[in-house]
Amino acid sequence: MFTPKYPTPDTAPATAPVVPQTTSPAPVVPTVPAPVAQTTPAPVSARPTVQLTPGSALALAAGGGAVVLVVGAVLVSMLLAVAITAVSVALVAVVLKSLLKDINNQR
């Protein structure tokens, strides 16, 4: 039951038989020596390059700062909402505990 079952070994021959070619060999073309390398400029990229001027760099920094401030304000407001909710729940728990204590003392 727990013994492994191995597949049967492959019975194909180890090497493929060689088939002789019946076509004529391609004609030999004399090779021409390569021309002497000339100094050519580097290929120009098709993508436009971005050049930052001092004004655009300042605008980019101001935009990044504004994003950081907005994200920070959102996170602080979420933290404040959680804190206010926690205080409210704690206050309700204290009031309920006090009411239940008064009801139990009257009996």
Q: What is the mean pLDDT of the chain?
A: 83
Mean pLDDT on 61-88: 97
Q: What is the domain range of residue 85?
A: 80-107
**pLDDT of amino acid 48:** 79
Q: Is 97 part of a structural domain of the chain?
A: yes
- Please list, residue by residue across 15-33, b when 16 or more beta carbons sit within 10 angstroms of its beta carbon and e when fewer do: eeeeeeeeeeeeeeeeeee
Overall domain count for the chain: 1
Q: What's the pLDDT tens digit per position in 36-73?
A: 666 666 676 777 777 888 899 999 999 999 999 999 99
Contact 98, 90 (CB under 8 A): no
21 or 77, higher pLDDT: 77
Question: How much is the pLDDT for 34?
Answer: 66
Would you say residue 49 lies in a domain? no
Residue 95 lies in a domain: yes
Query: Which residues make Cβ contacts (< 8 Å) with residue 37, sequence separation at least 6?
Result: none
